[in-house]
Amino acid sequence: MLEAITSMFKFTPAKKSAIFLSLILGLAAFFRLYRIGDYLTFLGDEGRDVMVVYNILHGQFTLLGPTASVGGFFLGPIYYYFMAPFLWLSRYDPVGPAVMIALLGVATVWLLWRVTKEFFGTVPALIAAALYAVSPLVITYSRSSWNPNPLPFFTLLCLFVLYRAIRDNNIKLFLISGILFGIMMQLHYLATFVGVIIVSYIVIARLLAWRSYKNIFLFLKQLLKDFLSYAVGFLIGFSPFLAFEVRHGFPNIRSIADFIFNSNDTGNSPQLVHTIGDVGFRLFGRLITSYPSPDHFSWYMPQLISVWFWLTLFLIAI
């Protein structure tokens, strides 16, 4: 009898991992959901989204999503569709969609643990999940309803499914990853950078398996098969936006092309180099080195600010 009782408290490595993961997920949920209604951001964009979703729930269906930050074109409507059931369940309280983002944030912690465990093992996976669960910046963006906020979850899931698709040579997984990428493109056009990674990864992965192909034609056939199945999935995931474009003569696609090739900020202009540098510095400085904004320079010694600045530039360069 005593042996049976003591054996109940002997935890295998798998049980210990499950306990730690449960604690991490509980902590992530607490930081994201505790008093979320008191701390969520609700400004003009959030108010616009709630009104559009309110109209959708009352019969005014739409195939267009929020406007992009620049360029005057629109995103796809998928984020509105994600918001709709949560806004309805909350009786049109804006807290509902914010709870959706918080739950996706907790799911991202779990997914990060799963992906890291696949490549590096249990301990690194728990450390990565714990760091992501308590990251102040991540928590901040997990407590408000905004269309780019689900991107970490869908990006990680999209790339992980793609990895499995190539590893198992599974067309269905290529389709699923393509659908996820189509959803990402509706959430924010920053997902185009992930598209570059996807194309590069497929090509490099197939090149590394070059010896398994008898000749160049079989290699190109496999590559074509991969990209065609991925493209079909993407078209499915991006279909609401494409449906609007086909129906109205591609106004947003024309606006995007005009913005890329003719805008003073992105087209054939010296301003492009300045814009890329500014975005790169803010990205690395804000997310990696926590470089302070100019209004906070007075909080630190000038020598420290200088070292901080050059460290950030070095990280961008490498």
- Determine the Cα–Cα distance for residues 8 and 142; give it in Å rounded to an integer: 38
Residue 223: name the closest of 238, 239, 208 by CA. 208
Looking at the predicted structure, is the pLDDT value of residue 215 above 50?
yes
How sure is the predictor about 5, in pLDDT bands with cuts at 50, 70 and 90?
very low
Looking at the predicted structure, is the pLDDT value of residue 2 above 50?
no
Percent of the chain with pLDDT over 70: 84
Percent of the chain with pLDDT over 90: 54
- Determine the Cα–Cα distance for residues 214 and 166; give it in Å rounded to an integer: 18
How sure is the predictor about 41, in pLDDT bands with cuts at 50, 70 and 90?
confident
The 10s digit of each residue's pLDDT in 175-191 is: 999 999 999 999 988 89
CB neighbours of residue 163 within 10 Å: 17
Looking at the predicted structure, is the pLDDT value of residue 229 above 50?
yes
The 10s digit of each residue's pLDDT in 78-126 is: 999 999 999 999 999 999 999 999 999 999 999 999 999 999 999 999 9
- Determine the Cα–Cα distance for residues 78 and 90; give it in Å rounded to an integer: 19
Which secondary-structure segment (H or E) carries 48?
helix 44-57
Q: Give the per-residue pLDDT at 255.
A: 78
Q: Give the per-residue pLDDT at 189.
A: 85
How sure is the predictor about 317, in pLDDT bands with cuts at 50, 70 and 90?
low
How sure is the predictor about 1, in pLDDT bands with cuts at 50, 70 and 90?
very low
Looking at the predicted structure, is the pLDDT value of residue 205 above 80?
yes
Q: Give the per-residue pLDDT at 263.
A: 59
Any idea what the Cα angle at residue 239 is, between residues 236 and 245, rounded to 5°?
Answer: 150
What does R_g of the chain's alpha carbons equal in angstroms? 23
Looking at the predicted structure, is the pLDDT value of residue 279 above 80?
no
Looking at the predicted structure, is the pLDDT value of residue 60 above 80?
yes
Residues recorded for the chain: 318
Q: Give the per-residue pLDDT at 284.
A: 66
Q: Select the more confidently predicted residue: 160 or 1.
A: 160
- Determine the Cα–Cα distance for residues 110 and 104; give it in Å rounded to an integer: 10
Looking at the predicted structure, is the pLDDT value of residue 193 above 50?
yes
Q: Give the per-residue pLDDT at 106.
A: 97
Mean pLDDT of the chain: 86
